[in-house]
Structure 1
Amino acid sequence: MGAPISGVAYPIESRHPGWPAKLGPLRVPAGILDVRPVRLRDAGEWSRVRLRDREHLEMWEPTGVGPWPDRNAFWSWPSQWLALRGLARRGQCLPFTITVDGHFAGQITVGNVIRASLRSAWIGYWVSSDIVRGGVATGAVALVTDHVFNFGGLHRLEATVRPENTPSLRVLAKAGYRQEGLFERYLDVAGGWRDHFCYAVTKEETGDGLVSRLVAKGLAERV
């Protein structure tokens, strides 16, 4: 606790509240879902899945510098991991790996964390093509949203998704996010400026938590 001023003790907030942390387990149709901090040793599986799933991922992700094989090669992960870890230690993001039955299955990141009176951030995710429609992305979004509201000190999360990305729109709706509007020509994706829907949720809207909602609907089970 901080030093009392006029008889009131003020808590000192961690420099990076909510990270690192391990979330789950949660049983979803695809298997046992866990969310944990990104690791340097994720390199091999991260690269293997990203290279294999180029057609599944590239059309939805921001345009990057250099060809896909180079940006997602084994040797490109260490620098990305260092950058994510550095941002996390400064409290600017919360980068997580998604696993199913103990195996690498994707990533979920809370980024552009702004504190003070806003306490807002965005949430982004991707999952392996062999587990889509298995409840993994929905469960991961619910786990991370509950975590950052309860332990990360945030009040609002938003996600932006291309209108054509129907599976991701379903993920957010099932997880408990609501559509707020359309951002025109919002982000450079796949070589062009693309419109994106904005979905969002605030802490007050989550009630007992998004995971509890999934469990109540029979879409997930606590383990």
Structure 2
Amino acid sequence: MDDPGTLSAGRVAVRIIRWSDAEPLRALLTENRSWLQRWEATHPSGRSVVPGSVSMRPMVRTLRKQLRAGSGMPFVVLYDGAVVGQLSVSEISGGALQSSQIGYWVSEHVAGRGVTTTAAALVIDHLFGALGLHRVEVCIRPENDASLRVVAKLGLRHEGSRTDYIHIDGAWRDHEVFVALRGETPSGYVARLAQR
């Protein structure tokens, strides 16, 4: 899969994760542990999924492998040029489906500034434009008010619920499903945000 370069709107940008991002991401995850822990994926066996205070290099390796295989696109989120979070595209499907999912997190120090919303809009526009996908899903725990505000600002459609969908913070958790379809926002999601 091709590297789209840096996608930006105002003070927010996204770009494919680099090896040099391992340390800034590790530092952010360590600093934001209490902020992020209740939303982090966990493994049912109890094995850690997020490296935390250890090296992020294995995770960067895995994400870049998914990029090479065409099954995912791992972005870092930038605010004023500094790494402040991550947005990952996963489950990229071609053929008759032409679909993907996105998940994201940002540091608490930039929360509430529209950073995540803008980053998601940039990536959704890229997935619909450059990749020609038809559908993008965002699955969110119903208690995650901040993420629910992101999809509300983007105008994504609520499609339903998934029971015990992902193992998060030590247990199987329900998620609400929000969907963007390529034909629903012809001008793009970045343009839609600019009009609000």
Partner of 1:199: 178
May I ask how many residue pairs the two structures share in their alignment? Answer: 194
Equivalent in 25, 49, 53 of residue 73 of structure 1: 53
Partner of 1:211: 190
Partner of 2:39: 60
1:188 partnered with 2:167: yes
Structure 2: segments with no counterpart, 5+ residues: none
Looking at structure 2, the residues matched to 190 and 148 of structure 1 have their Cα atoms a distance apart, in angstroms, of 29
Please state whether the residue corresponding to 1:71 is helix, strand or coil.
Answer: coil
Pairwise CA distance, 1:25: 2.5
Equivalent in 131, 134, 140 of residue 110 of structure 2: 131
Residue 44 of structure 1 contacts residue 74 of structure 1 at CA under 8 Å; is this kept in 2? no
Residue 61 of structure 1 contacts residue 189 of structure 1 at CA under 8 Å; is this kept in 2? yes
Looking at structure 2, the residues matched to 81 and 67 of structure 1 have their Cα atoms a distance apart, in angstroms, of 15
Equivalent in 108, 111, 114 of residue 93 of structure 2: 114
1:82 partnered with 2:61: yes
Looking at structure 2, the residues matched to 112 and 123 of structure 1 have their Cα atoms a distance apart, in angstroms, of 9
1:170 partnered with 2:153: no
Partner of 2:5: 22
TM-score normalised by length of structure 1: 0.83
Q: Hey, which bits of structure 1, 4+ residues long, moved more than 6 A? A: none
Pairwise CA distance, 1:112: 0.9
Encode CA deviations 1:33-86: one digit per residue, 9 max, x unaligned: 111110111122111110111111111121145458x812352x1111111111
TM-score normalised by length of structure 2: 0.94
For the pair shown, the structure with the greater C-alpha radius of gyration is 1
Looking at structure 2, the residues matched to 62 and 24 of structure 1 have their Cα atoms a distance apart, in angstroms, of 27
Pairwise CA distance, 1:119: 0.5
Partner of 1:154: 133
Please state whether the residue corresponding to 1:21 is helix, strand or coil.
Answer: coil
Aligned-residue CA RMSD (Å): 1.5
- Partner AA of 2:32 in structure 1: D
Pairwise CA distance, 1:206: 1.6
Encode CA deviations 1:139-164: one digit per residue, 9 max, x unaligned: 00100000010001211010110100
Looking at structure 1, the residues matched to 40 and 112 of structure 2 have their Cα atoms a distance apart, in angstroms, of 19
Of 77-86 and 97-106, deviating more is 77-86
Residue 26 of structure 2 contacts residue 54 of structure 2 at CA under 8 Å; is this kept in 1? yes
Q: Percent identity?
A: 36
- Partner AA of 2:53 in structure 1: A
1:34 partnered with 2:13: yes
Residue 8 of structure 2 contacts residue 122 of structure 2 at CA under 8 Å; is this kept in 1? no
- Partner AA of 2:111 in structure 1: V
Residue 23 of structure 1 contacts residue 143 of structure 1 at CA under 8 Å; is this kept in 2? no
- Partner AA of 2:5 in structure 1: K
Looking at structure 1, the residues matched to 153 and 30 of structure 2 have their Cα atoms a distance apart, in angstroms, of 28
Looking at structure 2, the residues matched to 63 and 171 of structure 1 have their Cα atoms a distance apart, in angstroms, of 23
Residue 43 of structure 1 contacts residue 74 of structure 1 at CA under 8 Å; is this kept in 2? no
Structure 1: segments with no counterpart, 5+ residues: 1-15, 218-223
